[in-house]
Structure 1
């Protein structure tokens, strides 16, 4: 890996389910340290592309590279060990554990701990310290002992972001991180995402255009399984192909409506 090696690179990636081709030759290059958003109409293939990046799906053809290493076909846990972590649209936490316990679980594997019956979790100082660092980073120290299932929806999403970054991954995938939030909750989530991804590479799928344009350095637009544009927010806003993809609604209108 060199200094110019992209954090994540998809080259002519295709994905079929039976006879149906969902992803039709996606080419995408995300540089290290970049905040990159994927947008597009419903059914464009955004979630499928995310699943190809994280190992949930294997590409039918083409390559997916993480820091120059081919990860196409590798299981998610191996990709996680290589430095890529993701969140999901549906909040994915341990509802009966406390906020702190959720974060401690997230750091154990990254620190090299495996399933063991003779290690007391309370004795694992490095896991405790790392969990406390993330707890402070996401602003939930005051909720340390709260049962995760009793948190508000916005707090649960913040906890999930904490779980996603807890293992120290350098490439973070967030799938609709502000979905279902009020405007004030969404604004808070954006600031949290901006803070926790400093120095990391962020790739997100998001429908809220105000979040996308307020956070992303670059934006890629997917339509029918293809990337039709990948550029700066300013260039994407004025791209005629993107306007057409949104059925005649300009992105200015979409931002204002969000």
Structure 2
């Protein structure tokens, strides 16, 4: 990426440090073209929302970025290095972690054990039969800190499957951030929540992503305009706009393609 000019000073500024770059990304399923040359630049430390109508390809794009699906063409860069062709665990070890649209936890393990499992590899513990988990002081201390961050310390010994839906989503966010990834992908983090639950989730996401890069798929316009620094709009497999929430709200092309009256009412889509 080339340097750019400061409008206020006329000086040449270095390009921003990019956490994620999508370069002419394409993905087909059979003869059906799902992602059609998507381009997107996400600056380190920003919170981005990815929106678009049902069938636009949002989940497919998430799966391409996280390595669950291979690219057909184009490239994806993580902190300036290509991750095209990398496996999900390899991408995770390079600092990207994601949650899923459907809650993905170990229901029969305790809340604490769920978080601890997420920490093991990041703290240097691979598959081992001779380490007793209760004796891993660094893992257990970090797990306690994560539980405190997500507000589930009082529920640490409860089986995860017995948590409320909103608590399970909070636990999944905890699992996502536990390994210390600097780039976080959240897939519909407030789906199925009441308004008060969604507001609490937004505050949690805002807190745990301070200093990190966030890309989230979300349908609730209130959440998007409250949390995101920038919003990218995906329509029929192409990014048609990427701008600040206010600019997206007033963008005629976006209104026609997706937001419609929601741009004014800010109701959930």
The question of 1:165 aligning with 2:174 is answered no
C-alpha distance in structure 1 between counterparts of 2:184 and 2:257, whole Å: 27
The residue that corresponds to 1:201 in the other structure is: 213
The residue that corresponds to 2:267 in the other structure is: 256
Q: How much has 1:17 moved relative to structure 2? A: 1.1
The residue that corresponds to 1:92 in the other structure is: 104
How large is the Cα RMSD of the aligned pairs?
1.3
- Is the 2:48–2:216 contact (alpha carbons within 8 Å) kept by the matching residues of 1? yes
Q: Which runs of 4+ in 1 moved over 6 A?
A: none
C-alpha distance in structure 2 between counterparts of 1:3 and 1:167, whole Å: 29
Q: TM-score, normalised by structure 2?
A: 0.93
- Is the 2:220–2:268 contact (alpha carbons within 8 Å) kept by the matching residues of 1? no
Number of residues of Structure 1 aligned to a counterpart in Structure 2 = 256
Q: 1:213 aligns with which of 205, 225, 239?
A: 225
Q: Residues 225 and 86 of structure 1: is their aligned pair in 2 closer, same or farther, counting only changes over 3 Å?
A: same
The question of 1:39 aligning with 2:54 is answered no
| CA offset digits 1:165-221 (Å, max 9, x no partner) | 000000000000000000000000000000000000000000000000000000000
The question of 1:148 aligning with 2:160 is answered yes
Q: 1:28 aligns with which of 40, 43, 47?
A: 40
SS of the equivalent of 1:256 reads: coil
C-alpha distance in structure 1 between counterparts of 2:104 and 2:258, whole Å: 31
Q: How much has 1:164 moved relative to structure 2? A: 0.1
Q: TM-score, normalised by structure 1?
A: 0.97
SS of the equivalent of 1:42 reads: coil
Q: How much has 1:20 moved relative to structure 2? A: 1.3
| CA offset digits 1:114-147 (Å, max 9, x no partner) | 1111110011111001101101000111001011
Listed as ranges, the matches of 1:4-19 within 5 Å are 4-19=16-31
Unpaired segments ≥5 residues, structure 1: none
The question of 1:132 aligning with 2:144 is answered yes
The residue that corresponds to 2:81 in the other structure is: 69
Unpaired segments ≥5 residues, structure 2: 1-13
Q: 1:79 aligns with which of 84, 91, 96?
A: 91
